[in-house]
Amino acid sequence: MPEQVVVRPGGPLRGTLRVPGDKSISHRALICNALAPGEAEIRGLLDSADCRSTIACLRQWGVQFEESADRILVRSPGQDGFRPAAQVLDCGNSGTSIRLLSGVAAGLPFRSRFDGDESLRRRPMRRVLDPLTQMGAAVDLADTAPFWIDGAPGLTRGFDREIAVASAQVKSCIVFAALRAERPSRIVEPGPSRDHTERMLIAMGAGLDVRGAAIHVEPGAELTPQDLEVPGDISAAAYWIIAAAMTPGSEVLLPNIGVNPRRTGVIDVLRDMGVRVELVNRRDVSGEPVADIVARGGRLHPTLIDGDTVVRAVDEIPTLAVAAALADGVTEIRDAAELRVKESDRIATTASLLRAMGVEVEERPDGMRIVGGRLRGGELDSHGDHRIAMTAAVAALAADRESGPTTIRGAAAVEISYPSFWRDLDQLRHVAV
Ligand code: S3P
């Protein structure tokens, strides 16, 4: 994987592209099936560094995985049969691995030690460690990784309040711990974060009941393993949808994409900006809504991105900010302070990317103000953040032709969620118009 990539401004994007499996659903397919005694087959799993972190941690607890070309078999003794990990559970770059597995560790009768890479070691962990402590787990109350958790099969208390941030990682952590508590829990969400964990656990027979913003968990039910098919990742598709939107004359078909309503904020924002995005062939696959997405290019109008839309488009905001740079007016992003604690400070890294391409942008504590106009090719850096690397590529494609190519350093970061990204970029560009 090259560390540095040069991307020339492109003409229209044309063609059909299959994007890899959804990252969030892949982590959950592995973890939820690991909690259930027995075997399950997962098809379409994302094969990327983040999912490999989850697999490596679960292996240490005694879960077996058999990989073949198009599927992975999970064979587990169930959570009651887990054994202590011999080594620290290294979650690499993956916030989803460390936070979801912390919730599982809280229900295990031994100590689990967690750590991650430089970026993960900077990310806030009290948001999961505080609730786990309140539920009765003995926890090393560190602000950041590394930390340890001394779990217990029957946590003394349930959880009964609103969680502090609209975060699916925090919510899922508490849900996994609540499955092993002595008492029922009620977890109230402050915003509509992705609900893949709830959907999957309900299908596996967990005592979970979702009423509005409240998730009720009745502990103790034995989970049944589930064969699952993971749909294409809308967060990966979003790069092509936005790249197509920014280049008039483009038309891209992205088959088999997960379109869970808590993930489709990106489509709502683009439609608001005047982009034609169509969802066709809608169906349900393994309990998740799926569709084929057709994205086209056109003129872009400015918009306001705030409130629940931010929660429903949390990973797509940097790329939407790039689209806003070509809109005919001023776009504002508000209520997005969570972006500061992702794989990089995505408000800072996005603003600096836009500035490097000649865009007028004002950074704010919870968002930014972007003056639409044009993008000029330049020198960009991913800051080790996969989503910033791919956002940089989209910006480079849509830059003025006269301004020349863009050099993207730290391009290998795409390994985290979309290893074939640079190949797919070539494929879409080389299809004759
Ligand atoms: C994820 C949830 C989001 C998202 C991350 C994946 C998940 O984080 O940014 O890429 O799989 O639960 P938060 O839940 O912390 O917002």
In a domain, 29, yes or no: yes
- Tell me: do 135 and 87 sit in the same domain: yes
Distance 168 CA to ligand 1 centre (A): 6
**Quick one: pLDDT at residue 430?**
63
Probe residue for ligand 1, chosen from 163, 193, 311 as the CB with the greatest number of ligand atoms within 8 Å: 193
Which protein residue's CA is at the shortest distance from atom 9 of ligand 1? 315
In a domain, 387, yes or no: yes
Which protein residue's CA is at the shortest distance from atom 4 of ligand 1? 315
Distance 12 CA to ligand 1 centre (A): 31
In a domain, 226, yes or no: no
Which protein residue's CA is at the shortest distance from atom 11 of ligand 1? 24
- Tell me: do 61 and 159 sit in the same domain: yes
In a domain, 372, yes or no: yes
Q: Per the structure, how many domains does the chain have? A: 2
Nearest residue to 105 via CA among 79, 87, 123, 124: 79
User: Pocket residues for ligand 1 (CB within 6 Å)?
Assistant: 24, 27, 96, 167-169, 172, 193-194, 314-315, 338
pLDDT 10s digit of each residue in the chain, 433 long? 889 999 999 889 999 999 999 999 999 999 999 999 999 999 999 999 999 999 999 999 999 999 998 899 999 999 999 999 999 999 999 999 999 999 999 999 999 999 999 999 999 999 999 999 999 999 998 999 999 999 988 888 999 999 999 999 999 999 999 999 999 999 999 999 999 999 999 999 999 999 999 999 999 999 999 999 999 999 999 999 999 999 999 999 999 999 999 999 999 999 999 999 999 999 999 999 999 999 999 899 999 999 999 999 999 999 999 999 999 999 999 999 999 999 999 999 999 999 999 999 999 999 999 999 999 999 999 999 999 999 999 999 999 999 999 999 999 999 999 999 999 999 988 653 3
* Boundary of a domain, candidates 192, 219, 246: 219
- Tell me: do 177 and 260 sit in the same domain: no
* Boundary of a domain, candidates 219, 252, 285: 219
In a domain, 131, yes or no: yes
Whether 315 sits among the annotated catalytic residues: the reply is yes
In a domain, 126, yes or no: yes
**Quick one: pLDDT at residue 432?**
36
Q: Which atom of ligand 1 is nearest to the CA of 27?
A: 11
Is pTM beyond 0.75? Reply is: yes
Probe residue for ligand 1, chosen from 50, 104, 169 as the CB with the greatest number of ligand atoms within 8 Å: 169
In a domain, 225, yes or no: no
- Tell me: do 14 and 38 sit in the same domain: no
In a domain, 78, yes or no: yes
Probe residue for ligand 1, chosen from 27, 31, 96, 196 as the CB with the greatest number of ligand atoms within 8 Å: 96
- Tell me: do 110 and 94 sit in the same domain: yes
Distance 374 CA to ligand 1 centre (A): 31
**Quick one: pLDDT at residue 429?**
80
Residues 6+ apart with CB under 8 A from 390: 239, 319, 414, 418, 421
List the domain range (segments joined by +) for residue 213.
23-219
Distance 342 CA to ligand 1 centre (A): 9
Q: CA gyration radius for the chain?
A: 21
- Tell me: do 36 and 73 sit in the same domain: yes
- Tell me: do 275 and 413 sit in the same domain: yes
Catalytic residue among 22, 233, 315, 424: 315
Distance 405 CA to ligand 1 centre (A): 32
> Domain of 215: which CATH number?
3.65.10.10
- Tell me: do 113 and 177 sit in the same domain: yes
Distance 311 CA to ligand 1 centre (A): 9
